[in-house]
Amino acid sequence: MKPKSIVLILLTTIINFNLTVSQSSDFGIYKCKNNTSTNVFKQDITKSLTSLTGHVASHGGFYNSTASTRVTSTALCRGDIGPEECEKCVKTAIPSLLRNCPNHAEAAAWYSDCIVRFSHGEIVGVLDTWTFDKLYNSASVDKGEVSEFSEALSELTVKLTDLAANGGSVRKLGFGNVTVVGSGLVRTIYAMMQCTPDLSKEMCRKCLFNASEEIGKCCRGRVAARVFYPNCFLRYSNEHFYNDPPLISSSGEAKSGVLDTWTFDKLYNSASVDKGEVSEFSEALSELTVKLTALAANGGSVRKLGFGNVTVVGSGLVRTIYAMMQCTPDLSKEMCRKCLFNASEEIGKCCRGRVAARVFYPNCFLRYSNEHFYNDPPLISSSGEAKSGTDLYS
């Protein structure tokens, strides 16, 4: 038996016991190419690989390094994991890859959470076909189920290949599930397919097509399997192994925000506008809060803020309403929108016609008034600096 086969059997065994574990420490597969038996490139390789760390997550999960002119390195993180797991996987992979492929001009390492590679040649934007590997669970579905199971999986991989291939230049990822109803048993298959985003749509499609074909050969009926190529992978399981939605946004921002709904409170001014004005006033305010919600939700990862005014012309009286809405910037756009939507609804309930009111949630607030209560422009820039030329103490 060749040493590699022993390793594969061991890995397969580990995977069997550990299928739901997605930590980077659960396994590593290494492929080395072109044993140069010299140390000529060693420094370059180390330099190139090391320069990946700290940059992968912040670039949305893929990064290529140009730290060395003679060696290119790349790292791809699984598209659904968070920035910390991503960076941890890459950091762990580098010394292991160097240890496993000490004299080689090209190599790749696959983990649950990332793929790390280096090469003396071009690897960015190139579809590599020199190697692949697979892992599978020893358990299979019942014989009578195999054909329905395989058909459903194949349908799913076609869909996910499309999703991944059509992904942008930051991430080419597809994941999803399919339900197999057969022999009185209902099964759900979960799958994920991903390419390195430097590939063209057509290259990604080719890579994932091979992966799907390979799954049909190695792993027909297996309850879980993975196939790895230098530029892509396919993984499926009977367990829900991925984060939906992904924990890392394509801009590289952590999506760690938690939208809290356990409490809220309000304050309002006892004065109200005249009865005849209430409906025009409320409509104008509502128009304004819709606008400010969009402004705040579309804010960046530093500040999610909207403020502005609206003028109500009614009963011969001209009124201006000033409002401000803000979310904690850790929230995603959608979470911010939800929080401010509730705030606007609440204002309509508690405070219809009040000249001024505030609603507070753990992650957002809305305040409006007939007085101009805010600084326009804000006195603190999004970089956290005081805007020069503004005297904060005047």
Ligand X SMILES: *[C@@H]1O[C@H](CO)[C@@H](O)[C@H](O)[C@H]1NC(C)=O
Torsion, CA 45, CA 86, CA 332, CA 244, rounded to 10: 130
From 61-69, 92-100, 162-170, 324-332, span contacting ligand X (CB under 6 A): 61-69
Q: Which residue among 20, 261, 298, 390 contacts ligand X (CB under 6 A)?
A: 261
Site for ligand X, residues 132 to 171, rule: CB under 6 A: none
**Is residue 251 part of the contact set for ligand X (CB under 6 A)?**
no
Amino acid in position 245: P
In whole angstroms, give the CA distance from residue 342 to residue 68.
Answer: 52
Residue closer to ligand X, measured from CB, 93 or 232: 232
Residue closer to ligand X, measured from CB, 121 or 276: 121
* Residue 64 C-beta: closest distance to ligand X, Å: 4
Residue closer to ligand X, measured from CB, 16 or 280: 280
Encode the chain in three state secondary structure: CCHHHHHHHHHHHHHHHCCCCCCCCCCCEEEEEEECCCCCCHHHHHHHHHCCCCCCHHHCCEEEECCCCCCEEEEEECCCCCHHHHHHHHHHHHHHHHHHCCCEEEEEEECCCEEEEEECCCCCCCCCCCCCEEEECCCECCHHHHHHHHHHHHHHHHHHHHHHHCCCCCCEEEEEEEEEEECCEEEEEEEEEEECCCCCHHHHHHHHHHHHHHHHHHCCCECCEEEECCCEEEEEECCCCCCCCCCECCCCCECCCCCCCCCCEEEECCCECCHHHHHHHHHHHHHHHHHHHHHHHCCCCCCEEEEEEEEEEECCEEEEEEEEEEECCCCCHHHHHHHHHHHHHHHHHHCCCECCEEEECCCEEEEEECCCCCCCCCCECCCCCECCCCCCCC
Q: Which residue among 22, 24, 46, 65 contacts ligand X (CB under 6 A)?
A: 65
**Is residue 172 part of the contact set for ligand X (CB under 6 A)?**
no
Q: Which residue among 66, 183, 279, 375 contacts ligand X (CB under 6 A)?
A: 66
* Residue 164 C-beta: closest distance to ligand X, Å: 14
Residue closer to ligand X, measured from CB, 50 or 103: 103
* Residue 87 C-beta: closest distance to ligand X, Å: 16
Q: Which residue among 7, 8, 14, 124 contacts ligand X (CB under 6 A)?
A: 124
Q: Buried b / exposed e across 361-378, counting CB within 10 Å, b at 16+?
A: bebbbbbbbbeeebeeee
* Residue 367 C-beta: closest distance to ligand X, Å: 15
Site for ligand X, residues 290 to 329, rule: CB under 6 A: 308-309
Binding string to ligand X for residues 7 to 36, with x set by CB under 6 A, is what? -------------------------x-xxx
* Residue 100 C-beta: closest distance to ligand X, Å: 9
Q: Which residue among 64, 92, 196, 249 contacts ligand X (CB under 6 A)?
A: 64
* Residue 353 C-beta: closest distance to ligand X, Å: 21
Residue closer to ligand X, measured from CB, 15 or 288: 288
Binding string to ligand X for residues 174 to 213, with x set by CB under 6 A, is what? --xx----------------------------xx--x---
Residue closer to ligand X, measured from CB, 152 or 339: 339
Site for ligand X, residues 326 to 385, rule: CB under 6 A: 338-339, 342, 361, 372, 376
Radius of gyration of the chain (CA): 28
List interacting residues with ligand X (CB under 6 A).
32, 34-37, 64-66, 103, 105, 120, 124-125, 127, 129, 176-177, 206-207, 210, 229, 240, 244, 259, 261, 308-309, 338-339, 342, 361, 372, 376
